[in-house]
Amino acid sequence: MDFGRVDTPLLDEIDFKLPAEPALNKKILKGPAARQPKIYLGCAKWGRKEWIGKIYPQGTKEANFLDEYVKHYNSIELNATHYQVYGPETIRKWGEKAKGQPGFKFCPKVSQSISHYSQLTNAGPQTTAFLEGVLAFEQQLGPIFLQVSDRFSPKRKDALFEYLASLPKDLQFFLEVRHPEWFSDEAVRLELLRTLQKLKVGLIITDTAGRRDCAHMELTVPKAFIRFVGNSLHPTDYTRIDDWVNRIHYWLEQGLKELYFFMHMHDEAYSPELSVYLADKIKAVCGVEVMRPQFVTTSSPLKAPAKPAAKKPAKTVAKQPTKAAVKRPAKAAAKQPTRAAARPTTKKATKKPVKKAAR
């Protein structure tokens, strides 16, 4: 994903700290903590030739990429459906490849014929065709997400809200907006949040270097859908993940039911390394086991740089100024995340491998 991309020398100058917890989230996350929270980790596509010899065995054919992908992740942000409307037959074939992985979720992106090339007021036939296809995933169907273009401003909010209200109520939808005015205008932001909450539509959080306003932390349903854009294992990728895990821990303690975390990179060759780091941190901090990629060989030339274990942040984060959340046994109590949350101390990162030039 190139959205929000900045030149590498500028990354050290960006304040990547996540915003403080929004007050409105208290109306969404009411606790107690779920006994068995569902955490899904995935990428945007399975067709990555760069993963052959890394997590896909040598000699893997493109036709078998999905067969291999489901051995490493328990979900996928299905961007393929954004560029083409697929019929039930193709969808069922994809679903069959994941049948051996119980609980695997496909999270299809709404077709661009609807999100980008219609006015949303005349998208009925396209929406019907799109849904007829993805519904063939049956129990494997995760949240469906609608991403409107960067130019889609709040001036078109009526069309957006009417379209969202027309969607089936028995399916979980998420919305991603990118026009800056959705976040900068307080009245617009509050209307968006209240409308989505009323419709039970989630709001996607996009964490990318050049658009910090899109990492807004607002929840409109007790589920989170995060699109994280890394920078090919730059040191800030790790500290950003540390910050995210602290926030996820807090949300889980406050009653978050489901989390979908999708890993993006400007160079997708490095997504498995950061995925492993995230899964291991979630297990250590949140006590939840998450499916993680397994490398074909431990001597992969693209293995992530060594990073020392992070300090537990629980004692340095300000507590939530409300009644204490129900605590799980054998885990530290979750603390209210703030912009001042301490980051783990790290040693100087080892030299990273030379990356391919960005396409």
Q: Max CA-CA distance within the chain? A: 56
Closest listed residue to residue 333, CA positions, set 285, 263, 264: 285
Closest listed residue to residue 121, CA positions, set 70, 163, 87: 163
Whether residue 310 lies inside any domain: the answer is: no
Confidence of residue 337 (pLDDT cuts 50, 70, 90): low
Mean pLDDT on 52-57: 97
**In Å, what is the CA distance from 343 to each residue of 8, 99, 206, 310?**
21, 40, 21, 8
Q: What token pair was written down for 304?
A: 């992530």
Residue 43, domain extent: 38-286
Confidence of residue 336 (pLDDT cuts 50, 70, 90): low
Does residue 346 carry a pLDDT above 70? no
Mean residue pLDDT of the chain comes to 87
The fraction of the chain above a pLDDT of 70, given in percent, is 83
Contact 37, 252 (CB under 8 A): yes
**Residue 2, pLDDT score:** 86
Q: What CATH number does the domain containing 210 carry?
A: 3.20.20.410
Whether residue 127 lies inside any domain: the answer is: yes
pLDDT tens digits, 225-252: 999 999 999 999 999 999 999 999 999 9
Whether residue 339 lies inside any domain: the answer is: no
Whether residue 117 lies inside any domain: the answer is: yes
Does residue 318 carry a pLDDT above 90? no
Q: What token pair was written down for 208?
A: 């990318």
Whether residue 84 lies inside any domain: the answer is: yes
pLDDT tens digits, 177-222: 999 999 999 999 999 999 999 999 999 999 999 999 999 999 999 9
pLDDT tens digits, 57-101: 999 999 999 999 999 999 999 999 999 999 999 999 999 999 999
E runs forming strands in 245-336: 258-265
Q: Count of domains in the chain?
A: 1
Whether residue 350 lies inside any domain: the answer is: no
d(CA 323, CA 328): 15
